[in-house]
Structure 1
Amino acid sequence: MEFGGPEVLGVYDLPDPRPDAGEVRIRIRAAAVNPTDISRRTGLLGVGSGHPPYIPGAEAAGVIDALGTGSTWQIGDAVMAMAIPMSEHGGAYAEYLIAPDDSIARIPVSMSFEQASTLPMNGLTAIQILELMSLRPGQSIAVTGAAGMVGSYVIQLAKRQGLIVIADAAPKDVALIQSLRPDHIIDRGDGIAARIRAVLPGGVAAVADTALLHEKVVPALCDGGAFVSLRRWKGAPTRDIRYEAAWVYDDYHSQAKLDALRRAAEDGALTPRVADVLPAEKAADAHRRVEAGGVRGRIVLTF
């Protein structure tokens, strides 16, 4: 892949990679298409340490088919993995992905590769958001962009932690958000901070701003609350509000957290959503649909 529009996504014949010590090779069965893949494709996130043709894709599921020296995994293990595009090993839109032992986990029991491929990056982002908030059971959070994959995972994991959750929803998404079981659902859009305050007049302890509303939702926080962004945005210092930024690639070697996602999915506390499944050759079509907006769940490419 070169940088540009969806049309730059093509099929390339590359040498089969081999795992080094402490690594595995995964024969990819499914890779989720995320909004960040669009930014990678257009060059907005730079080239990193990679080289053309660049391989996008940040999360996948498949079967281990080769082991590096000392690997603790077994050939035939069905696993899910987060990938780092523009890095030495490249992204997840590939037949084969090299992954360090500690960057993968088994897929949840009875879950398809397509479903499991939506868990690693989106789920680790949700875990990181909640860790940055550092809340106790009974405290409150507001989630913007609740119908998105990260937002929905934040809601479900927050409820698992015993937090009070306020989630936003467009009219067409109310049934979906209700299925995630937040404590309160409010209308999305302008004036959201006031609507959050109408539910909790003292303000919420934290905001997970997955919709990138930024300053529009900061007033919903109580004094000393935590605002967690996805794009490193920080508002003006005020009322001792603590600004944090989630950066999922910091958790690349976080096998324990990936395994926690597996357990949450097996317990029914975390529900993956697959919007559609397309063959890998249709990656350009998948990107066009994601760019058009309105996709609920993840489009998944199969290999």
Structure 2
Amino acid sequence: MTKTTMRALIGGSGAPQLVEVPLPQAGPRQVRIRVAAAAVNPFDLAVAAGTLADYGVARRLDSYGLGFDAAGTVDQVGDGAVFRVGEEVIGLAARLEVPTKAQAEYVVLDAEAVARAPRGVPAVEAATIPLNSLTAWQALDRAGVGPGRTLLVTGAAGAVGGYLVELAALRGARVVAVAGAGDEEFVRGLGAEWFVARGESVASAVRERVPGGVDAAVDAAVLGLAALDAVRDGGAFVALSAGVAPVGLRGIDVATVFFRADADQLGEVVRLVEAGRLTLRVAEVCPLEKAADAHARVASGGVRGRLVLVP
């Protein structure tokens, strides 16, 4: 019998809800993915809580689809999409105002948001790649991070922070990492040259290691002005959340970077994963039915790696 419905997680009023909805269909230049795994990100908590409108990033709706990261198998191909049914892929469900997203049995994505999955990598690990790696990649681009540049990464042991450290080091940058005291060995292993323990005076500690201040900072831990003070005059500062960017003092170029789907960048990340140059971290795997528990774990903080939901 032909399948006509699927299970999907929605939010907007608090905890995630598992609902039965019509099976989505791929349109032109789209693919439908049978989801094998979908990561849970802190942003999912804001979507589920219904607070997107408070930050001006979405209209106030009755419900929103949940989940940004998907790993799975192409199940249906629309006209003009250069994928094949049966191909293993990963993708980023970047839009906010859609009824269902990646935390579902199936998701429809524009082909430009999808890339071939890394060979030999289980779906639960591949599902941790799209949102966090693209956020890091695009933040580093905006900050002008390249060979010989110095970069401050706050929240360096987190999922986005870990990608920031590794990708910056691969670009030839010298990284100062801020994380919990127990994370020093880990973030140095990712490529950080210097380490500052969370709780220290960030600007003073950074300037002791990099006289005059770093060329740029990406503030994954939302330290704001404390991190900005570690940046040299005329440097660059990137925030990753709405409404938290500090004033651009001392000629510092301050920007907020939100993720966007980019198949070419995602393909580059996949190649780095296949080459063993990037670290994928899964904290725990849960069924869709346990999504509320997964959200609670993420909200409690201190999770290293991503919780991943499997249909």
Q: Taking structure 2 as the reference length, what is the TM-score of the superposition? A: 0.91
Q: CA deviation at 1:244?
A: 1.2
Aligned match of 1:22: 29
Equivalent residue in structure 1 for 2:251, among 237, 240, 263: 240
SS in 2 for 1:92: coil
Partner residue, 1:83: 93
Q: CA deviation at 1:185?
A: 1.3
Cα distance in 1 between the residues matched to 2:168 and 2:239: 16
Change (3 A) 1:53 1:202: closer
Following superposition, the deviation at residue 48 of structure 1 comes to 4.0
Distance 1:300 1:39 in 2: 17
The alignment status of 1:269 with 2:277, answered yes or no, reads: yes
Given the superposition, is the C-alpha separation of residues 49 and 104 from structure 1 closer, same or farther in structure 2, using an over 3 Å criterion? Answer: farther
Hey, what does 1:293 align to over in structure 2? 301
Q: Give yes or no for the alignment of 1:220 onto 2:230.
A: yes
Per-residue CA deviation, residues 49-74 of structure 1 (Å, 9 max, x unaligned), is 79655321111101001111222110
RMSD, aligned α-carbons? 1.7
**Residue 104 (structure 2) pairs with residue 97 (structure 1):** no
State how 1:63-74 maps to structure 2 within 5 Å: 63-74=73-84
Q: For residue 10 of structure 1, what is the aligned residue in structure 2?
A: 17
The match for 1:56 among 58, 62, 66 is 66
For residue 193 of structure 2, the aligned residue among 152, 164, 183 is 183
Report which of the two has the higher share of strand.
Answer: 2
One-letter amino acid of the counterpart of residue 26, structure 1: I
2:265 aligned residue (257, 263, 274): 257
Name the aligned partner's letter for residue 117 of structure 2: I
Q: Give the Å deviation of 1:85.
A: 5.1
Distance across 2 between alignment mates of 1:143 and 1:93: 29
Contact 1:23/1:71 (8 A) holds in 2: yes
Q: Distance in 2 between matches of 1:152 and 1:138?
A: 19
Distance in 2 (alpha carbons) for counterparts of 1:58 and 1:293: 19
Structure 1 residue 44 corresponds to structure 2 residue 55: no
Verify the 8 A CA contact 1:55 1:85 in the aligned structure 2.
Answer: no
Distance 1:89 1:68, change over 3 A: farther
Structure 1: runs of 5+ lacking an equivalent: none
Q: Contact 1:142 / 1:165 at 8 angstroms: preserved in 2?
A: yes
Counterpart of 1:107 in structure 2 is: 117
Three-state SS of the structure 1 residue aligned to 2:85 is coil
Which secondary structure does the structure 2 equivalent of 1:20 belong to?
A: coil
Q: CA deviation at 1:12?
A: 1.1
Pairing partner for 1:284 from 258, 276, 292: 292
From the superposition, tell whether residues 4 and 11 of structure 1 become closer, same or farther in structure 2 (CA, over 3 Å).
Answer: same
Moved over 6 A (4+): none
Tell me, yes or no, if the aligned pair for 2:235 and 2:251 is still in contact at 8 Å: yes
Structure 2, unmatched stretches of 5+, are 1-9
Q: Would you say the 8 A contact 1:83–1:90 is kept in 2?
A: no
The letter of the residue matching 2:246 is G
* 8 A contact 1:50–1:90 mirrored in 2: no
- Report SS of the residue matched to 1:84: coil
- Decide which moves more: 263-272 or 27-36: 263-272
Inter-CA distance 235–258: structure 2 relative to 1 (3 Å threshold): same
Percentage identity across aligned positions? 38
Structure 1 stretch 210-219 or stretch 82-91: which is displaced more?
82-91
